[in-house]
Amino acid sequence: MEQRVLILDFGGQYDQLIARRVREHGVYCEVWPCTADIESIRAFHPIGLIFTGGPGSVYAPDAPDADKGVFSLGIPVLGICYGCQLMAHRLGGLVTPAQSDTAREYGKTETRFDTACALFRGLPEDSVTWMSHGDYMAKVPDGFRVIARSDACPNAAIADEKRRFYGVQFHPEVDHTEYGKEMLRNFLFDVCGASGDWTMENFRARAVRELREKIGEGRVLLALSGGVDSSVCAALLSEAVGRRLTCVFVDHGLLRLNEGDEVEAAFSERELNFLRVDAASRFLRRLSGVEEPERKRKIIGEEFIRVFEEESRKLGTVDYLAQGTIYPDVIESGAGNAAVIKSHHNVGGLPDHVSFREIIEPLRLLFKDEVRQLGRELGLTESMVSRQPFPGPGLAIRVIGEVTEEKLATLRSADAIFREEMARCGLTHAADQYFAVLTNMRSVGVMGDGRSYDHAVALRAVATKDFMTADWVRLPYDLLDRVSVRIVNEVPGVNRVLYDITSKPPSTVEYE
């Protein structure tokens, strides 16, 4: 069993980021609600605990708390922001609301460190941290000493090195803290004694073994969308159970150029049952005359389930239904004191008629970047594992207004040109998502010495870490010029190309 670190969640906004930072150092971790009981924590066998931040105040009557036994496990503890204050509060210190002229801090803060402390060893004595706290440690618990301070906060970090308890008022997990990753590394390796044995090769071997043990001779059904998560899930299950896996790929005709063929090719040589259902005409009929975005989404979601039901009914008894759920889905669905960001249900509604023992989610403990790593480990092509996020309704929400076969063909061609030119310039990693949109605006143009009255295509490219916010990408003018010229010359019915320079907020990444 690999070494493990347990992160107790007190409702902080950066919980996923803490877990990702830990795993980036090759150390396996999980995020649990702070209400986890001490026996479950002990059975997890963690080599260290991390307490997250949170919006509450530790002295409030209903403040999130942890089992009183967490400080008696004999393992290192790192408290971040609220977690630091909880540690101080529970171990005999005093936490009070900060006065306006003392220790309330938000944003980038010049901070001074005691580099003799293991947490900051090897780092500069002065650097910038990201503070976000309105409470203040007025009294440090007995046995602790101050190991960092700022102009406004004399107790920016504390430590009881004998018991290996550390607390920081700032957030080392965010990029704004200059040496935050190094601080976490020091805690993991120098304090907890981690060896960095969390690798995707090890995960793959263990996952395959556990899937074989669970499924045995049973049959598995997977709704394959062609996205990264479901594709990697299919590849992993294929390695584990082979022909006992059936992947149903519903081709709704709303995919990008050649995308359906690429998905089929990716799984054509694998030992599984691959069923591609051509339902394009069926979806287009249902979408005929529909312009309102939410109606489009609901029609597509409902029709997908209907097709999936019909095809799965033909397969007879299925023992397990597989989903490509990943760890952010689990965390965002909320648990304990964690806020529900959004509820996830990856198949969009389970068919009533499918008889299955349980749902299998082999990727539920992986983050997106780890899913991509696993895909490479399983031999999927780079184009497949690096595939950008693509909305479930597909191109239907990138065609503004009514969706028709002609409009889809126009958009596919324009989008393909944009992606080709981005690749040709080596800029595929310059944006986290980029695509073309067929607007419902038509305008006058001059083409071939004649008047035209054709569609306008909008190009969109954004950079983001979490898709909660996004900034438009400053693409080179010569690239935009080539894309514009090619689209207008090569795509019938288009005489104008626009570039969207709006960030999120106030806009969204997608148009509908």
pLDDT in tens, 45-63: 999 999 999 888 989 988 9
- Tell me the average pLDDT across 352-361: 68
What totals of helices (H) and strands (E) does the chain contain, helices first? 14, 20
Tell me which range, 131-135, 175-179, 198-202, 412-416, is most confidently predicted by mean pLDDT.
Answer: 412-416
Same structural domain for residues 494 and 357?
A: no
Task: Report the half-sphere exposure of 93 (CA within 13 A, side-chain side).
Answer: 28
330 part of a folded domain: yes
Tell me, yes or no, if 344 is annotated catalytic: no
Residues 182 and 49 in one domain: yes
Q: What is the pLDDT of residue 288?
A: 95
Residue that wins the pLDDT comparison between 120 and 58: 120
To the query of whether residue 24 is one of the catalytic residues in this protein, the response is no
Which ranges constitute the DSSP H helices of 146-268?
Answer: 180-185, 200-215, 228-241, 259-267
Q: Which of 105, 173, 370, 421 is catalytic?
A: 173
Q: What is the CATH number of the domain that holds 355?
A: 3.40.50.620
89, 117, 133, 171: the active-site residue: 171
Number of residues in the chain: 512
Rounded CA separation 128/105 (Å): 13
Residue 94 maps to which CATH number? 3.40.50.880
End-to-end CA distance of the chain: 46
Are both 225 and 373 inside the same structural domain? Answer: yes
Is 393 contained in some domain?
A: no
Helix, strand, coil percent content, the chain, rounded in steps of 5: 35, 25, 40
Which single residue is written with the structure tokens 């920016």? 156
> Does the structure show a pLDDT above 80 at 375?
yes
Query: Per the domain annotation, does 314 fall within a domain?
Result: yes
Is position 259 annotated as part of the catalytic site? no
Confidence of residue 332 (pLDDT cuts 50, 70, 90): low
Per-residue pLDDT band at 400 (split at 50, 70, 90): very high
For residues 167 and 211, membership in a common domain is answered with: no
Q: What are phi and psi of 231, to 5 degrees?
A: -70, -45
The pLDDT, as a whole number, for residue 340 is 38
Give the residue with greater pLDDT, 112 vs 259. 112
Q: Is the pLDDT of residue 342 over 50?
A: no
- Judge whether 131 lies within some domain: yes
Instruction: Please write down the long-range contacts of 284-291, taking CB distance under 8 Å and 24 or more positions apart.
Output: 284/253, 284/403, 284/404, 284/405, 287/396, 287/402, 287/403, 288/402, 289/402, 290/402, 290/403, 291/401, 291/402
Residues 6+ away with beta carbon under 8 Å from 290: 296, 299, 402, 403
Residue at a domain's end among 328, 355, 385: 385
Same domain, 219 and 342: yes
Would you state the pLDDT for residue 333?
Answer: 53
Neighbour-count burial for 221-232, b at 16+ CB within 10 Å, e otherwise:
bbbbbbbbbbbb
* Residues 371 and 492 both lie in one domain: no
Mean pLDDT of 201-228: 91
Q: Do the Cβ atoms of 64 and 89 come closer than 8 Å? A: no
Tell me the C-alpha to C-alpha distance, in Å, between residue 46 and each of 1, 377, 494.
Answer: 11, 27, 59
| Region of poorest pLDDT, from 8-22, 143-157, 347-361, 484-498 | 347-361
| The domain boundary residue, chosen from 160, 191, 222 | 191
CATH no. for residue 405? Answer: 3.30.300.10
pLDDT digits (tens, 9 = 90+) for 428-471: 989 999 999 999 999 998 876 678 889 999 999 999 876 667 89
The residues near 291 (Cβ < 8 Å, ≥ 6 apart) are 401, 402
172, amino acid identity: P
Q: How confident is the model at residue 3 (pLDDT cuts 50, 70, 90)?
A: very high
Q: Does some domain include residue 419?
A: yes
Q: What is the predicted pLDDT for the residue at 100?
A: 55
Residue 133 shares a structural domain with residue 250: no
DSSP class of 189 = I
Whole-number pLDDT of residue 344: 35
Q: What is the mean pLDDT of residues 140-156?
A: 91
Tell me: do 168 and 214 sit in the same domain: no
* Crossing angle for the helix pair 368-377 and 200-215, to the nearest 10 degrees: 80
Query: What pLDDT sits at residue 144?
Result: 96
Where among 139, 168, 191 does a domain terminate? 191
Does residue 293 contact residue 329 with C-beta atoms inside 8 Å?
no
Question: Within this chain, do residues 334 and 403 fall inside the same structural domain, yes or no?
Answer: no
Domain membership of residue 391 (yes or no) is no
In a domain, 511, yes or no: no
| 415: pLDDT strictly greater than 50 | yes
Average model confidence (pLDDT) across the chain: 88
Helix (H) or strand (E) holding 458: strand 450-463
Which pLDDT tens digit goes with each residue over 71-94? Answer: 999 999 999 999 999 999 999 999
Do residues 214 and 298 both lie within one domain? yes
Which is higher by pLDDT, 207 or 227?
A: 207
Full domain range(s) for residue 352: 200-385
Q: Choosing from 29, 34, 81, 247, which is the catalytic residue?
A: 81
3-state DSSP assignment of residue 41: helix
What confidence score (pLDDT) does residue 104 get? Answer: 56
In whole angstroms, what is the distance from residue 33 CA to residue 323 CA?
23
Residue 504 lies in a domain: no
What is d(CA 477, CA 420) in angstroms, rounded to the nearest whole number? 16
**What pLDDT score does 133 carry?**
66
pLDDT in tens, 270-300: 888 999 999 999 999 999 999 998 899 889 9
Question: What pLDDT, on a 0 to 100 scale, did the predictor assign at position 101?
Answer: 53
pLDDT of 349 reads: 41
Q: How many domains does the chain have?
A: 3
pLDDT value for 89? 94
Q: Same domain for 83 and 137?
A: yes
pLDDT at residue 449, rounded to an integer: 66
Residues 29 and 147 in one domain: yes
